[in-house]
Amino acid sequence: MARPTVLTVEDDAAIRRGIVDALKFAGYEVIEAARGDTGRDLATRRDYDLLLLDLVLPGGSGLDILRAVRAGRPTQPVIILSARGEESDRVEGLKLGADDYVVKPFSVKELLARVEAVLRRSPERPGDVTCVEIPRGTADLARREVRFVGGQREELSEREVELLRYLVNHAGRAIARDELLANVWRINPRGISTRTIDMHVARLREKLRDDPADPRIVLTVRGKGYMFAGGGGAAEPGVDPTWTEHGAEGA
């Protein structure tokens, strides 16, 4: 079972290092940021289980990060890290949907207890997908193949498996290309062309027999990215299923 990942956004280097070390020792994976702009980028694009968020940051406000997270990920667990004199900001954070707060200075024991409590009561994250039902067949991610009614098969590459798994785990949500680069390709998306995402989606659609002119499994969401729909039915509002890969780069 994968270890929970905690994103820590804290500008004080000593506090951040203490948090990161404590979380790692307790068995968590950790992503960290020291600035508001970097933290917002990670918080809205990376995949993680819990956000530990300082409110006063260089390069952007912690409350702005929280607003951005809530806009795109309404159920994302968030714990605010605040100083004693930031009560009004702390209250505003709770109104914006933060799950809990810890006042500095805090003990490692208290922080870990809050982290465990929030993760325990948060909605379960999608488990590891092994099989995906699609129209006229099944994508077997463990065997890295697609099996269709009638016996036909298509082999999936490792990257195609990871791409499909990520889309399925976030079914119903538009996934930006930068988020896919960060979480499937595991690379920093800054300054990197996202055309490779479009090429892989086109190839995946081909193997799933998802008509690129009228896709029903992997949809293109204008201005946002891609979304797994599973197949069948009308497109969601804002989704243009007839928009082909040739025009996708400008989404």
Which pTM does this prediction carry? 0.58
What domains can be seen in the chain, in order of their start residue? Answer: 5-121 (3.40.50.2300), 131-250 (1.10.10.10)
Q: What was the pLDDT predicted at 222?
A: 87
Q: What is the mean pLDDT of residues 165-186?
A: 84
Query: How many C-beta atoms surround the C-beta of residue 14 within 10 A?
Result: 8
Percent of the chain predicted with pLDDT > 90:
54
38-60 pLDDT tens trace: 999 999 989 899 999 999 999 99
Contact criterion met (CB below 8 Å) for 68 and 48: no
Distance CA 189, CA 145 (A): 28
**CA-derived radius of gyration, the chain:** 20
Quick: pLDDT tens for 76-116.
899 999 887 777 888 888 888 888 999 998 999 999 999 99
The pLDDT value given to residue 127: 52
Looking at residue 50, its pLDDT comes to 95
Closest CA to 81 of 95, 62, 67: 62
